[in-house]
Structure 1
Amino acid sequence: MFAGFNLQGLDDKFLSHYKGAGEAAFNSQKNHIQKELDRFVLDDGSLDGSALQDDWFPDVNADIFLSHSHADQKLTMAFAAMLEGEFGLKAFIDSCVWGYADDLLKKIDDEYCKNKTNSGATYNYNLRNYSTSHVHMMLSSALTKMMDKTECLIFVNTPNSITTRDTVENKTKSPWIYSEIATSHVLRKKNPERHEELEKSWKFEAAQKNLDIVYNANLDHLTPLSTEDLSLWCYQFKGERVVGALPHALDVLYRTKKLVQFPTSVRG
């Protein structure tokens, strides 16, 4: 991951044009993940945990990881469609995966965790705890792997995801949002390969930023992003293409937010 953004102010009005396309894109990813989950429940009822961890995202190649509240799923779907339509960037919506953790867990529990004393009408508490810990650890590992693969993370910050108790402290009730924000603090920072090429020719030296690793879903390390920034991003990207440049859309965003300083690049 190269950069992280804390996006505030996103609403249905701003994304009204992309609502239908967002649902179609989400369903495409969702169907793929559902199919892949089914593969790991074997004929004998056992679960190939190693294969599940290794292959959770076999065909999902994305530029951006979108972290969001479950209540903002449709909003995030429309935002993903905007990123695709305006910039040709593929976004991974995290709920495509954690939304199916319960489905996978149900399959495991039905196979392994039923109480034998009452004809399987109820689940064994201890076995359920064991199966839940396995599935949630696999899910956490899969999300971390996906975050590391994508070039940047955008956190869709709304009152559904973060509640501000005062002017300083942010809290979240979602364990998955907390996990993703905490992971984004410690993931290695990787420069895109195209930046390394530009560094050779322009002697560009990326500014390094020290991150304060804190608790309680601290968002200080994410670059602020607003709907005004999104509009400016669209305007500058289209403007550069009009004058004949072939910029990478994310590089235009990075320059807009002053994360990089090099001139307009030619996209390979």
Structure 2
Amino acid sequence: MFQGFNLALKNALWDGQDLAYGELLHAGQRKQVKATIDAFAGHDGVLDASKMQASWFPQIDAQIFISHSHADATFALGLAGWLKTHFDLDSFIDSCAWGYADDLLALVDKKFCRNPGEGTYSYSKRNRSTSHVHMMLSTALVTMMDRCECLFFLNTPSSITPADVIGETETGTTTSPWIYSEIALSGLIRRKNVCQHRRVREEARAVADSLPLRYDVSVRHLESLDLRDLDAWRRGAAVSDAHPLDLLYRMKRSPG
């Protein structure tokens, strides 16, 4: 990852056509992820953890990682369509992955966690299976984040509850363990320069809502974005031959 952005949203800049385009673009990603779930059990009955981890996002090539709340899926899809329409930028929406975590967990539990001869599950085995699945998913998400050139975090009331005023403190709380994990890791993940990202991308082309838990979240390490910034970015890209992400970095005075 080169740069992360804290995109504060109250309403959308994109329209229904952008949303439909985003849904179309990411239907393929969701289909890829879902298609791998049934192939995770090895021939000897042992789950192949490496295969699981690698198969969450098979051959998905994206420049922007979109982190969002489950409640903001429509915003995320609309943004993805808007980015593709105006900048020809491909995005990865994190819910394409963790949306199927429960499906994988059900597969694992059915095969390995049932009590023999009963319709119940082993509590201890389910604890272990949940830990394994979530750890593998978290690792796969971090790998995808590392591959993307930048991250857009959709900062809405659904994703973060401000501790005071989010614009001033840049801190708050979230009830989503996935948002907590992604934002925390985005501040720790290695930074790669733009040339590294684009060279690798060109080479590649050539070849838990029910738990009352809260996590403290800080977005200080993310550059602030809002709808006015996005609109200015779109207008600037319309009259420039520069790479659209370079325009965004310069507009937000990010070092290149």
TM-score (norm 2): 0.87
Alignment of 1:159-170 (within 5 A): 159-167=157-165, 168=169, 169-170=171-172
2:33, 2:55 within 8 Å by CA — same for their partners in 1? no
Deviation at 1:35, TM superposition (A): 1.0
Structure 1 pair 196–102 and aligned structure 2 pair: CA distance change class (3 A) = closer
**Could you say what secondary structure the match of 2:134 adopts?**
helix
CA distance in 2, matches of 1:230, 1:44: 52
Kindly provide the amino acid, as one letter, of the partner of residue 142 in structure 2: T
Structure 1 pair 195–34 and aligned structure 2 pair: CA distance change class (3 A) = closer
Structure 1 pair 30–195 and aligned structure 2 pair: CA distance change class (3 A) = closer
1:250 alignment partner in structure 2 = 245
Deviation at 1:135, TM superposition (A): 0.3
Cα deviations by residue, 1:32-91 (Å, 9 ceiling, x for unpaired): 111122221235543111222234323101000000000111110111111111101000
2:57, 2:97 within 8 Å by CA — same for their partners in 1? no
CA distance in 1, matches of 2:83, 2:10: 13
CA distance in 1, matches of 2:197, 2:155: 28
1:162, 1:171 within 8 Å by CA — same for their partners in 2? yes
Task: Find 1:123's aligned residue among 115, 118, 121.
Answer: 121
List runs of 5+ in structure 2 lacking aligned partners: 200-214
1:66 alignment partner in structure 2 = 66
Structure 1 pair 186–145 and aligned structure 2 pair: CA distance change class (3 A) = same
1:85 alignment partner in structure 2 = 85
Select between 145-154 and 17-26 the one with higher mean Cα deviation.
Answer: 17-26
Q: Which runs of 4+ in 1 moved over 6 A?
A: 194-197
Cα deviations by residue, 1:194-242 (Å, 9 ceiling, x for unpaired): 7999xxxxxxxxxxxxxxxxx82101111000111111111110111xx
2:97 alignment partner in structure 1 = 97
**Could you say what secondary structure the match of 1:221 adopts?**
coil
CA distance in 2, matches of 1:125, 1:51: 26
- Residue 43 of structure 2 is aligned to residue 48 of structure 1: no
Kindly provide the amino acid, as one letter, of the partner of residue 81 in structure 1: G
1:174 alignment partner in structure 2 = 176
Structure 1 pair 166–239 and aligned structure 2 pair: CA distance change class (3 A) = same
RMSD of aligned residue pairs (Cα, Å): 2.0
Percent of matched pairs sharing the same residue: 46
Alignment of 1:226-265 (within 5 A): 226-240=226-240, 245=241, 247-260=242-255
Select between 168-177 and 101-110 the one with higher mean Cα deviation.
Answer: 168-177
Structure 1 pair 25–121 and aligned structure 2 pair: CA distance change class (3 A) = same
Cα deviations by residue, 1:117-157 (Å, 9 ceiling, x for unpaired): xx331111000001111101100100000001100000001
CA distance in 1, matches of 2:15, 2:41: 38
CA distance in 2, matches of 1:22, 1:38: 26
Kindly provide the amino acid, as one letter, of the partner of residue 130 in structure 2: T
Alignment of 1:215-234 (within 5 A): 216-234=216-234
**Could you say what secondary structure the match of 2:239 adopts?**
helix
1:14, 1:227 within 8 Å by CA — same for their partners in 2? no
CA distance in 1, matches of 2:125, 2:89: 42
Kindly provide the amino acid, as one letter, of the partner of residue 149 in structure 1: R
Deviation at 1:12, TM superposition (A): 4.1
Higher gyration radius (CA): 1
CA distance in 2, matches of 1:44, 1:175: 33
- Residue 186 of structure 2 is aligned to residue 184 of structure 1: yes
CA distance in 2, matches of 1:256, 1:6: 14
**Could you say what secondary structure the match of 1:186 adopts?**
coil
2:14, 2:82 within 8 Å by CA — same for their partners in 1? no
CA distance in 1, matches of 2:250, 2:186: 21
1:264 alignment partner in structure 2 = none
CA distance in 1, matches of 2:105, 2:181: 19
Structure 1 pair 57–226 and aligned structure 2 pair: CA distance change class (3 A) = same
1:112 alignment partner in structure 2 = 112
Deviation at 1:19, TM superposition (A): 1.7
CA distance in 2, matches of 1:15, 1:155: 20
